[in-house]
Amino acid sequence: MDLLPKSHHEFNQTEYWNTFFKKRGTKAFEWYGEYLNLVVQIHKYVKYQDKILMVGCGNSRLSMDMYDSGFKDITNIDISPVAIKKMIEMNGKDRSDMKFIQMDATSMSFADETFSVVFDKGTLDALMTDNSEEVRKTVETYFKEILRTLRNGGRYICISLLQEHILDFLLEFFPKNSCMFRVVRCFETEQCSGEGDSDSLSMPVFAVVATKFKALPQTILEVCMGGEKMIRVTSTDEVVAAVTSTQNAAMICNGLARSNIVGLNEVTMDLYKPGESNPRYTLYISDQPPARNNGKYAAFIVPQGREIEWLFSTPQGRKKLLESAKYNRLAIVTMHRDQEYDSWESVESELSESVRNLAPKGLTDLIPYLSLGKDVGKRETLVCGFSTISGDFRIEEVEGQNGKVFRRLIFLSNQNVVQSEALLKTIKTKNKSRTKIDVGYLACQHHLFMTVGVQMATMGSSSSSGDDSSKNVLVVGLGGGGLCTFIRAALTNVSVTAVEIDPIMLEVAEQYFELKQDKRLHVVIDDGVAFVNRCKEKAIQFDAVLFDVDSKDISLGMSCPPPNFLEPEILESLKYVIGPKGMFILNLVCRDEQLREQAVSNLNKVFTSCCCYKLDEDVNEVIYCTNDEKYKNLADWKKILGTSSRSLNSIAKESKFSDTDMVDVTDFLNDLKI
């Protein structure tokens, strides 16, 4: 039986509703749920002694159920005489004092201020079929009639799906007419929006409550999209944003319930606590082709602090996790800093409803929760700071695998990237123990291969001073100082000059990452490009120059270094600064292939030979550049880089930085490219 209109415009036609109710007979039609689904909102905003007007009652049981629950003063109106006749027949005996009147809600015959509540369940949605001028005039007349018949302090309660044009018009009309305006999400109602049809969409249903006052000193707007807490907002844009984000999330959940996203990008969703502006969780949902031994669906909770690892922080890593978890669908959940998480059980309880909403249709099994262990992880914020250059940052300590504790510098503008990381080790003495930075630990793999380049450049090269026992290296980009500290500790014949544009970062490196300046490690606060250009002007040279500096504009396709660091002019200065035998070593992070090609082209135009190493499981690429004639082909690069790698491995073991080789020489050399 086709009971849906042929077009949206039919919704406001009397003939349509007459036909509709004749087809349905005595079977009630419930727009957006029944009394039991709306009972929370009804009993919150309607009192037993209220004089209630039910507009567009149709043949809904809502007013009947309200009457039976104790709301005795109810007047029902509807544009359809068929509906009114049926309702009178159904209620004449048991509810004889409940009124049913055939009446157009846009032209009511009631006296002014007759009612204390006007209840609208779906009528506005039926009236406002589009945003045309004709429809807007009709709805404005309807709203004026509502306000005319409402007493001061009375409530217009509208149950609606709040399409964009409807919400905009509500916000345009009621606040300017001295009404307090509130939007509440009706969770209990949403599952009934399709009249129990398993193939229908479960869309967010909202209760709009506009309370009439003679005058308001200021506009009052409130929203509640979850929980009990009502949030006061300052603008209509905030109301629209709250409703729209809820609707978008519901569309995602509906889509995921009814189909899979195999071969498509993962779906990302943030979860917020009611009233908070910062997300509490982020969910990444991915599908893979069904396999015989795969489970249908699971959630994977990433412990605090582990979300920055490649496996969890990149689409490629999360795809790998999906494959290894052996589920057709996986929801990977990460937790956010500046949030408190009590236990695994509390996190699982918090997530249960949201995770269930993302399940494939028809799944009735319990959803398994996976992780690296039944622990939410530990994260402690040591410092909340602000830099005029880099913005808000955090220094935090997190517990990683095997109980190891790491100290990290994080810029909030790019929270999934660790700017600097140090491993803490415990030093025990007779009377006490204390923590200390492990100088032999390198958090970033690209730092290890940049250090290989430094070792290559300083083995047998001549420095600007002419003293073969002392080699000079320039590092542009300090961060927490981990790379500079490691080079100083591992390569005892090297002196490091570090250039950092942000003075706050030097304070951070010294106070929290134990960077120590001395004769072999000196930090200059300056712009890196300007410093290199001045070195050329003053004829200052280095055995190696390292660029490990990030871009503050994360919208660029190249996030490291900033594009101006690879302009031809600065590269010409670098060519002079490293001299005929020196080495320029670049950490390149570029997701835009055109930008990468341009960068490589610029390097090749300036330097005689360039060799690159792309890190596994990372977007980082270390590029070695030189004008030394002995690097003629890939075999030459492999020979010298191999020697340098083995030498660094020996140094690391002698210094007790590592019990095993830090560089897998075979893999490294195999992946080198000209």
Dihedral (CA of 206, 201, 294, 262) sign: negative
Whole-number pLDDT of residue 193: 47
Distance CA 60, CA 420 (A): 63
DSSP state of 396: E
Structure confidence at residue 503 (pLDDT): 94
pLDDT at 9 over 60: no
Give the span between the Cα atoms of 307 and 298, in whole angstroms. Answer: 18
pLDDT for 320 equals 92
The answer to whether residue 148 scores a pLDDT higher than 90 is yes
Query: Quick check: helix, strand or coil at residue 340?
Result: coil
The candidate with the shortest Cα–Cα distance to 376, out of 353, 403, 342, is 342
d(CA 546, CA 524): 15
User: For the chain, first and last CA: distance in Å?
Assistant: 70
Distance CA 70, CA 65 (A): 9
Token pair 């567009």 is found at 56
Q: Which residue reads 């992946």 in tokens?
A: 671
Question: What region does 542 belong to: left with phi over 0, alpha with psi -120 to 50, or beta?
Answer: beta
Confidence of residue 204 (pLDDT cuts 50, 70, 90): confident
* Backbone torsions φ then ψ of 347, nearest 5 degrees: -65, -45
Average pLDDT of span 429-451: 86
pLDDT of residue 27: 46
pLDDT band at 28 (very low <50, low <70, confident <90, very high): very low
Helices (H) and strands (E) in the chain, counts: 20, 28
Q: Is the pLDDT of residue 49 over 90?
A: yes
Contact 139/101 with Cβ under 8 angstroms?
no
Q: What is the pLDDT of residues 286-334, one digit of tens each?
A: 999 999 889 999 999 999 888 888 888 888 889 999 999 999 999 999 9
pLDDT of residue 548: 93
- Confidence at residue 443, expressed as pLDDT on a 0 to 100 scale: 84
Q: Check residues 96 and 624 and name the one with the higher pLDDT.
A: 624
Return the H-helix or E-strand segment holding 12. Answer: none
Average pLDDT on 140-156 reads: 97
Sign of the four-CA dihedral 354, 355, 360, 364: negative
pLDDT of residue 5 exceeding 70, the answer is no
Residue bearing tokens 């918090």:
350
352 by DSSP, 3-state: which? helix
Residue type, 475: V
**In the predicted model, is pLDDT for residue 1 greater than 70?**
no
For the cut 60, the answer to whether the pLDDT of residue 408 exceeds it is: yes
| Mean pLDDT calculated for residue range 479-506 | 93
Tokens (6 digits) for 244: 């729209």
> By the 8 A CB rule, do 524 and 472 touch?
no
Closest CA to 337 of 395, 385, 389, 379: 379
Are residues 597 and 603 in contact, defined by beta-carbon separation less than 8 angstroms?
no
At 50, the amino acid letter reads D
The DSSP 8-state label assigned to residue 199 in this structure reads T
Contact assessment for residue 410 and residue 418, using Cβ atoms and an 8 Å cutoff: yes
Confidence of residue 196 (pLDDT cuts 50, 70, 90): very low
Cβ atoms 389, 372 nearer than 8 A:
no
Q: Is the C-alpha dihedral spanning 282, 288, 294, 295 positive or negative? A: positive
Q: Which two tokens stand for residue 106?
A: 């846009």
> Which residues share a beta bridge with 295?
327
Tens digits of per-residue pLDDT, 174-193? Answer: 999 999 999 998 877 765 54
Q: Select the more confidently predicted residue: 416 or 660.
A: 660
DSSP H helical ranges for 293-422: 310-313, 315-325, 344-357
Q: Which pLDDT score, from 0 to 100, does residue 376 have?
A: 81
Query: Residue 542 has which token pair?
Result: 């280095």
Q: Please enumerate in sequence order all residues whose Cβ is within 8 A of that of 582, keeping only pairs 6 or more positions apart, or say none.
A: 457, 461, 541, 542, 543, 544, 545, 626, 627, 628
* Burial classification of residue 372, based on how many CB atoms lie within 10 Å of its CB (0-12 exposed, 13-18 middle, 19 or more buried): middle
pLDDT for the residue 556: 67
Mean pLDDT of 156-166: 92
Q: How confident is the model at residue 333, as a pLDDT?
A: 94
- The vertex-584 CA angle with 580 and 589, nearest 5°, equals 155
Say which residue, 511 or 263, is predicted with more confidence: 511
Six-digit token string for 425: 């080790």
Mean pLDDT of all residues in the chain?
86
What percentage of the chain has pLDDT greater than the value 90? 49
pLDDT category of residue 593 using cuts at 50, 70 and 90: confident
Cα–Cα distance for residue pair 229/241, rounded to 1 Å? 17
- Rounded to whole angstroms, the Cα distance separating 128 from 148 reads 20
Strand ordering across the sheet containing 405-411: 379-387, 391-399, 405-411, 418-428, 433-437
> Percentage of the chain with pLDDT > 70?
90
Residue range 350-394, pLDDT digits in tens: 888 889 888 988 888 899 999 887 778 888 889 899 999 888 999
Quick one: pLDDT at residue 178?
Answer: 95
Distances from the Cα of 514 to the Cαs of 402, 428, 483, 485, 510, in angstroms?
A: 24, 18, 12, 9, 5
Strand partners, 424: 405, 437
What does the pLDDT average to over 574-583? 94
- DSSP letters, 38-102, are HHHHHHHH--TT--EEEES-TT-SHHHHHHHTT---EEEEES-HHHHHHHHHHHTTTSTTSEEEE
pLDDT exceeds cutoff 80 at 12: no
Report the pLDDT averaged over residues 74-81: 93
> Does residue 448 register a pLDDT over 70?
yes
Q: Would you call the peptide bond into 204 cis, given omega within 30 degrees of 0 as the criterion?
A: no
Pair 487, 494: CB distance under 8 Å = yes
Alpha-carbon distance of 110 to 114, in angstroms, equals 7
- Tell me which H or E stretch contains 75: strand 74-78
Measured CA distances, 13 to 6, 9, 59, 77, 146 (Å): 12, 8, 17, 15, 20
Q: Is the pLDDT assigned to residue 336 strictly greater than 70? A: yes
For 207, residues 6+ apart whose C-beta sits below 8 A from its C-beta are: 38, 41, 45, 157, 158, 159, 183, 184, 185, 186
> Over the Cα atoms of the chain, what is R_g?
34
Q: What is the mean pLDDT of residues 465-494?
A: 85
571-592 average pLDDT score: 92
| SS3 (DSSP) at 120 | strand
Beta bridge partners of 496: 473, 521
Q: What is the pLDDT of residues 521-569, one digit of tens each?
A: 999 999 999 999 999 999 999 999 999 998 876 666 777 898 889 999 9
- Cα gap 289→121, rounded to integer Å: 42
pTM: 0.68
